[in-house]
């Protein structure tokens, strides 16, 4: 669970028939600007351990929740009669490599707390996975939903763990676990959480504010991306899908793929004076590097 980023997608509270069940609530976590619009702002509770921007705070209920504090989470779920849980809290790929212990705690221990809570309280649970759950040996173009996954980051490993735990608990106990592997999520307002795909947001912000951008990836690093509005729609539709329509618990979703060089070319059509220098950062370049290309894997 988290609310810190406007890149977090927007699940909603609905029943199998797409009607919000009376008195039911989703405990969710994101600062996405349109949260709650579809099913009523009081029915969607955001949470984080960080203070949200004022506009997010004013949009509806917002509470403090630390995914490492099980008792606190349990109180929140019970006291608010939560029926759906949407778990966005995580440390992303690049920051995760700088603090593996913390990443393991938030991404794995936090996930276990949320899984236990969802089981104990019969909640529907959504956890996003990522293209970072693939690795150099995964097939590509397109990567199938089911394939080899041997990521080489703690972020990727933790997300594969989440996919497998959710699937296991679904088969063993009937947990309604749902998971989508997101590409890099981009929007004009995205707060940058320390991911490897962050450049695709930062470059627009810097182009407008300073007219210069220093790119930490090689210019030909091709990565899958998706605009946040498409990510919201996919997530909400997936959450609303009747159980019988799901053959898997985890699916890929895709939109576009592009390189820094291509983005620069497009931006220069509007801001011809944009100056870009490429200084590939070994840590982040290594995260995306496939054996014979400049990217395509996270
Ligand atoms: N942004 C992207 O491009 C993609 C994101 N995702 C997934 O979407 C989710 C959200 O990603 P972003 O919003 O971009 O990440 P972010 O880094 O912007 O937000 C993560 C949030 O988790 C919160 N958090 C950290 N420790 C916590 C704790 N102990 N308890 C509660 N909250 C805590 C942080 O305060 C922060 O607001 C993550 O699970 C990520 O793996 C997946 C693929 C792509
Ligand atoms: C694609 C992701 O999961 C995230 N944006 C990251 O780069 O770590």
Tell which atom from ligand 1 comes closest to the C-alpha of 6. Answer: 13
Whole-number Å distance between alpha carbons of 229 and 147: 27
What per-residue confidence (pLDDT) applies to 146?
97
Please tell me the number of the ligand nearest to residue 295's CA: 2
Cβ of 191 below 6 Å from ligand 1: yes
Whether 117 maps to a domain, the answer reads yes
| Number of Cβ within a 10 Å radius of residue 106 | 21
Please tell me the number of the ligand nearest to residue 235's CA: 1
Q: Of the residues 4, 6, 90, 132, which should be mutated to test ligand 2's pocket, given the most ligand atoms within 8 Å of the CB?
A: 132
Residue 77 and residue 117 in contact, taking contact as beta carbons nearer than 8 Å: yes
CA–centroid distance, 7 to ligand 1, in Å, is 9
- Per-residue tokens: 256: 């576009």
Whole-number Å distance between alpha carbons of 226 and 45: 25
What per-residue confidence (pLDDT) applies to 34?
54
Whether 137 maps to a domain, the answer reads yes
Tell me the catalytic residues: 155
What per-residue confidence (pLDDT) applies to 86?
95
Statement: residue 293 has pLDDT above 50:
no
Q: At what angle do helices 199-209 and 260-268 cross, to 10 degrees?
A: 30
Tell which atom from ligand 1 comes closest to the C-alpha of 197. Answer: 3
Write the pLDDT tens digit of every residue in 91-121: 999 999 999 999 999 999 999 999 999 999 9
Domain boundaries, position 156: 25-186+226-255
Whether 221 maps to a domain, the answer reads no
Whether 167 maps to a domain, the answer reads yes
Write the pLDDT tens digit of every residue in 224-283: 999 999 999 999 999 999 999 999 999 999 999 999 999 999 999 999 999 999 999 999
How would you write the chain as a 3-class SS string? CCCCCCCCCCCCCCCCCCCCCCCCEEECCCCCCCCCCCCCHHHEEEEECCCCCHHHHCCCCEEECCCCCHHHHHHHHHHCCEEEEECCCCCCHHHHHHCHHHHHHHHHHHHHHHHHHHHHCCCEEECCEEHHHCCCCCCCCCCCCCCCCCCCCHHHHHHHHHHHHHHHHHHHHCCCEEEEEECEEECCCCCCCCCCCCHHHHHHHHHHHCCEEEECCCCCCCEEEEEHHHHHHHHHHHHHCCHHHCCCCEEECCCEEECHHHHHHHHHCCCCCCEEEECCCHHHHHHHCCCCCCCCCC
Whether 6 maps to a domain, the answer reads no
Cβ of 89 below 6 Å from ligand 1: yes
Write the pLDDT tens digit of every residue in 14-56: 233 333 443 456 766 434 545 566 778 889 999 999 999 998 8
Whole-number Å distance between alpha carbons of 284 and 216: 7
What per-residue confidence (pLDDT) applies to 31?
41
Q: What percent of the chain has pLDDT over 70?
A: 85
Q: Please report, in angstroms and rounded to a whole number, the separation of the first and last CA atoms in the chain.
A: 22
Q: Kindly report the protein residue whose alpha carbon is nearest to atom 4 of ligand 2.
A: 195
Q: Kindly report the protein residue whose alpha carbon is nearest to atom 15 of ligand 1.
A: 193
Q: Domains in the chain: how many in total?
A: 1
CA–centroid distance, 111 to ligand 1, in Å, is 12
Whether 269 maps to a domain, the answer reads no
Whether 55 maps to a domain, the answer reads yes
Entry pTM: 0.90
Complex ipTM above 0.95? yes
What per-residue confidence (pLDDT) applies to 41?
84
Whether 195 maps to a domain, the answer reads no
Q: What average pLDDT does the chain have?
A: 88
What's the CATH number where 240 sits? 3.40.50.720
Of 169, 82, 45, 78, the closest CA to residue 119 belongs to 169
- Per-residue tokens: 286: 């290594």
What per-residue confidence (pLDDT) applies to 28?
63
What per-residue confidence (pLDDT) applies to 137?
94
Q: Kindly report the protein residue whose alpha carbon is nearest to atom 3 of ligand 2.
A: 130
Statement: residue 194 has pLDDT above 90:
yes
What per-residue confidence (pLDDT) applies to 176?
98
């Amino acid at each position: 669970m988290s609310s810190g980023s406007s890149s977090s997608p927007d699940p909603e509270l609905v029943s199998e028939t797409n009607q919000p069940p009376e008195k039911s609530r989703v405990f969710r976590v994101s600062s996405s600007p349109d949260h709650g619009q579809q099913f009523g702002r009081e029915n969607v509770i955001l949470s984080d351990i960080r203070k949200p921007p004022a506009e997010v705070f004013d949009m509806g209920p917002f509470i403090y929740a630390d995914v490492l504090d099980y008792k606190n989470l349990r109180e929140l779920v019970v006291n608010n009669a939560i029926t759906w849980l949407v778990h966005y809290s995580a440390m992303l790929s690049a920051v995760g490599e700088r603090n593996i212990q913390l990443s393991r705690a938030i991404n794995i221990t936090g996930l276990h707390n949320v899984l236990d809570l969802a089981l104990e309280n019969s909640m529907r649970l959504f956890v996003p996975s990522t293209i970072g759950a693939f690795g150099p040996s995964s097939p590509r173009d397109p990567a199938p939903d089911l394939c080899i996954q041997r990521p080489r980051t703690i972020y990727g490993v933790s997300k594969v763990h989440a996919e497998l735990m959710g699937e296991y608990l679904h088969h063993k106990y009937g947990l309604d676990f749902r998971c989508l592997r997101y590409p890099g999520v981009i929007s004009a307002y995205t707060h940058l959480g320390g991911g490897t795909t962050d450049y695709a947001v930062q470059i627009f912000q810097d182009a407008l504010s300073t007219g210069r951008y220093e790119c930490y990836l090689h210019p030909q690093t091709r990565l899958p991306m998706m605009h946040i509005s498409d990510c919201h729609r996919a997530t909400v539709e997936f959450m609303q899908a009747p159980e019988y329509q799901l053959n898997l618990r985890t699916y890929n979703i895709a939109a576009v793929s592009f390189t820094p060089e291509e983005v620069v070319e497009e931006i220069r059509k509007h801001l011809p004076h944009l100056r870009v220098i490429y200084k590939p950062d070994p840590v982040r370049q290594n995260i995306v590097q496939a054996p014979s290309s400049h990217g395509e894997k996270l």
